[in-house]
Structure 1
Amino acid sequence: MGTVDPDGRPRVSPVYYAPDGYDHLYWISSPDAQHSRNIAERPEVSMVIFDSTAPIGTARAVYLLATAERLPDDEFERHVDHACRARFPEQRVFPRDELQGSAPLRLYRARVTEHSVHVRGSDPVHGKGIDSRLVVDLESSAPG
């Protein structure tokens, strides 16, 4: 996830997230973490999601622009179970009491505003001679 520091420098941070469809992502972080403080000042973030275990040259990625925030207390109960369930056997499930009150961690959310994909310059359909990104309109590309 990319945020912007108070001095205008970009800052990237890896986060483990829980998706909710294609337009919301949740993660757990400390409000004292630099990326959390950056979000409090400038909520616009960028993200890239990819399979880091894919062999070189075969990975695909989705690039996201989003507006991020610490989840408001009045929305906590509605989203906590989905956001905190384990996706992988080694992933820890956070109990609710570790994300509320005087606990040091909180639940965060990103609302995705744009999805795009990497297009190789040599792509036979979308290639333009140089690598580029193609914005994907999920509304018009949904089966229906």
Structure 2
Amino acid sequence: MSFDQLETLYRQVIMDHYKRPRNKGVLQDGSLTVDMNNPTCGDRIRLTMKIDGGKVDDVKFEGEGCSISMASASMMTEAIRGKDTESALRLAEMFSEMIQGKDVEQIEALGDAVALQGVAKFPARIKCATLAWKALEKGLKDH
């Protein structure tokens, strides 16, 4: 597959998550809630997670923002659902490294979020892509 074809595929994956977000909504029943925003561009997210036995049993998000931030939130929820909290934090670390342009081993563990790898070329968009992941880290570390 050529670089142009790969870039087109990644763009399609990002737009699919933006237009048809996975796990959008709010969990009730005493779930962990984290609100974060990016004051530079106005992106905001509310992440709710149900942590049971050290595992992310369920996760949802709602918010407003650009296609990158909302697609990233959708991808993140898919990547962490069912994972133990340590693994979820490791995925957040991997995502952060990837988005900074670093080489990441086992990058496929990020699932569709790999499509955001090209954001590293656009420093102004990095905060958009990492907003949901930062909310995840904050929530799990505060939990």
TM-score category by the smaller chain? under 0.3
Richer in helix (by share): 2
CA radius of gyration, larger in: 1
TM-score (norm 2): 0.24
